[in-house]
Amino acid sequence: MRRPFFALLLIAVAPAIYAQSGSERFAEYGQLIIAQLSSAPFPHPRRATGHTYGGRSYPVDAHYSDSSVAIFIPKGFRQAEATDFIVHFHGWWNNIDTTLSRYQLPQQLVESGKNAILVVPEGSRNAPDSFGGKLEDAGAFKKLIEDVIDVLVRQLKIKTRTIGTIILSGHSGGYRVISFILMRGGIPEKIREVYLFDALYGQTEKYVYWLDHYPGKMINVFTDSGGTKEETELLMADLEGWGIPYLLKDEVGITSDDLHKHRLIFIHTDLDHEAVMHGRSQFLQYLRASCPRNR
């Protein structure tokens, strides 16, 4: 598998909240809160001694000890009876800060006009590792969302604890944690959409199970050289064999109508692995056609 670079999205539990270094960069777009939560992916017993990949060691203190969860409230956010969330997971060789900045997630969320809160949990920090930590455990994702809500209520950002709709978004190595969340996260019925940005490397049966049992929508973007094309083509072949309709289009030809009308969307892009989220403001376009309520 080609090195998955980035995939972000979500939350954890604990009282400590602090301002992230450099969060002022996003002040014109909204408010960024960084919470240290016990329900965050890491630390985790399976990475208590770090991780080894390709003959190189990635020690726990530098890569698997950060329990940070980024919570971004877009400017103009309106409280409602339920709160919608977009949870993004970064992939290999990334962290919260690089993900928010490089892929312009706050900017794209604000421009999309969606009345939803973005959550990006710290995964394997700056390491080649797709392991989702605690979020691979049964019920863990529900706990994370509840902890994020607790932070927001205590900070007087929202009044309700009711969970609205949830979009899961993942870049590259973020595919693994999303697949486990769909299967055992505890609130699959709340997850209405999944975006995979050059990220379908495996765990495909978990995505198929969710699609078969819940009315959710999935957008899968794939490149020629990112390592996801073969798995994507295998999935499309299976869908054809099962008589399940889907849309396949080149990215330059995709329309807003396509994004609104179809449930299973496969998008081939000529962009490289690192540009699949922001090179053509893709994250923004998908959010505009998505389920969270408009402002």
* pLDDT of amino acid 24: 81
- Cβ–Cβ under 8 Å, residues 121 and 10: yes
- At 268 the pLDDT is 98
The pLDDT of 129-148, averaged and rounded, is 98
Residue 125's nearest CA partner among 143, 99, 107, 86 is 99
Rounded distance between C-alpha atoms, residue 143 and residue 187, angstroms: 10
Q: State how far the Cα of 9 lies from the Cα of 264, in Å rounded to an integer.
A: 21
Distance CA 259, CA 286 (A): 7
Q: CB 160: neighbour CB atoms within 10 A? A: 14
Q: Which residue has the higher pLDDT, 20 or 241?
A: 241
Whether the CB-CB separation of 195 and 168 falls below 8 Å is answered with yes
The pLDDT of residue 77 is above 90: yes
CA distances from 287 to 17, 86, 203, 252, 260 (A): 28, 9, 24, 17, 10
Q: Are 62 and 126 in contact (CB under 8 A)?
A: yes
The average confidence (pLDDT) of the chain is 91
CATH of 17-288, one of 3.40.190.10, 3.30.300.30, 2.120.10.30, 3.40.50.1820: 3.40.50.1820
Per-residue pLDDT, 14: 35
Write down the domain spans for the chain.
17-288
CA distances from 214 to 54, 160, 189 (A): 38, 25, 7
Q: What are the tens digits of pLDDT across the range 3-60? A: 443 333 333 333 344 334 446 879 999 999 999 999 999 999 999 999 999 999 999 9
Query: What is the band of 134 on the pLDDT scale with cuts at 50, 70, 90?
Result: very high
> Does residue 236 carry a pLDDT above 50?
yes
Asked whether the beta carbons of 186 and 143 are under 8 A apart, the reply is: yes
Task: In whole angstroms, give the CA distance from residue 59 to residue 44.
Answer: 13
**Mean of the pLDDT values across residues 60-89?**
97
Percent of the chain with pLDDT over 90: 90
Burial status of residue 213 (CB atoms within 10 A of its CB: 0-12, 13-18, 19 or more) = exposed
Angstrom CA distances, 211 to 8, 165, 185, 194, 200, stand at 21, 16, 15, 10, 15
173 in Cβ contact with 7 (< 8 Å): yes
Instruction: Compute the average pLDDT of residues 193-219.
Output: 97
The per-residue pLDDT for 291 is 67
Tens digit of pLDDT for each residue in 271-283?
999 999 999 999 9
Mean pLDDT score, 248-268: 97
Per-residue pLDDT, averaged over 186-202, amounts to: 97
Residue 115 clears pLDDT 50, i.e. is over it: yes
Q: What is the pLDDT of residue 23?
A: 64
Mean pLDDT over 156-176 rounds to 97
pLDDT value at residue 154: 97
